Amino acid sequence: MTITLKTAEEIAAMRVACRLASEVLDYITPHVRPGVTTGELDILCHRYMVDVQQTVPAPLNYAPPGYRPFPKSICTSVNHQVCHGIPGDKVLKHGDVLNIDITVIKDGFHGDTSRMFAVGEPSIAARRLSEVSFECMWLGIDQVRPGATLGDIGHAIQRHAEALGFSIVREFCGHGIGRKFHEEPQVLHYGRPGTGEPLVPGMIFTIEPMINAGRREIRELADGWTIVTKDHSLSAQWEHTVLVTETGYDVLTVSSGCPSRPQRLPAAA
């Protein structure tokens, strides 16, 4: 495993890219309402990234080995869609929940973040799932410090989600990020404490747990990208890009409209 530790100059560039990614989510928030299509949200985000921020939408035409090029600028995953939902003609209705995943490229560096959104008033179950996935992300983030391991992150997330009756999607994970969209290490959202790669200052990676209300099994739709729960249960995800510092961590994907860390989190031991 070759992990690229970032220099001070690279960290500064990453701060800019990550802040801009978060600001796209700030911008799109008031547009998430009943009657809008996911395709319209994509167009709005694309124009904001390209025309206002002068950033490049990283997902557009992104084609890792074995995949056809992703056709849109953002990912919109609605209700039982887990991740990589392709924006299109889907009309959002009252009670829907969706994840919007944004990755921008600024001056050669990637910023990657996602949030959950409710369309109108969500069900109690949907609201609880979103809250738990948000807590899971932050419990994972709180493990980040020099000397900790990737397994510590995954264990904290898995323990909290499964204790509350939810399940962890295992086929997708967080990842290193910088000049490339996806770098080492892979950041699993389950695992055993004290295992895996040790964390050292200069690492930058995403923490992005995908939490299902039902079983953890997933399947891919015919479009080659969209992932859904096999049992059609709801899924939720939050994502931040995190820097390992000399004393702990620094969350890079922050902006004025970014939801703050929960004031109270359960113990992750």
Q: Per residue in 104-125, pLDDT tens?
A: 999 999 999 999 999 999 999 9
Q: Mean of the pLDDT values across residues 198-222?
A: 98
- Closest by CA to 106, choosing from 220, 1, 19, is 19
CA distance 257 to 144: 24
Q: Mean of the pLDDT values across residues 57-76?
A: 96
170: β partners: none
Q: Per residue in 158-204, pLDDT tens?
A: 999 999 999 999 999 999 999 999 999 999 999 999 999 999 999 99
Please report which residue ranges of 69-226 form alpha helices under DSSP H. Answer: 124-141, 150-163
Query: Residue 267's pLDDT is what?
Result: 66
Q: Mean of the pLDDT values across residues 222-246?
A: 98
Query: What is the residue type of 18?
Result: C
Q: Mean of the pLDDT values across residues 34-57?
A: 98
**With 90 as the cut, is the pLDDT of residue 138 above it?**
yes
pLDDT band at 264 (very low <50, low <70, confident <90, very high): confident
How many alpha carbons lie under 13 Å from residue 141 in its C-beta half-sphere?
A: 25
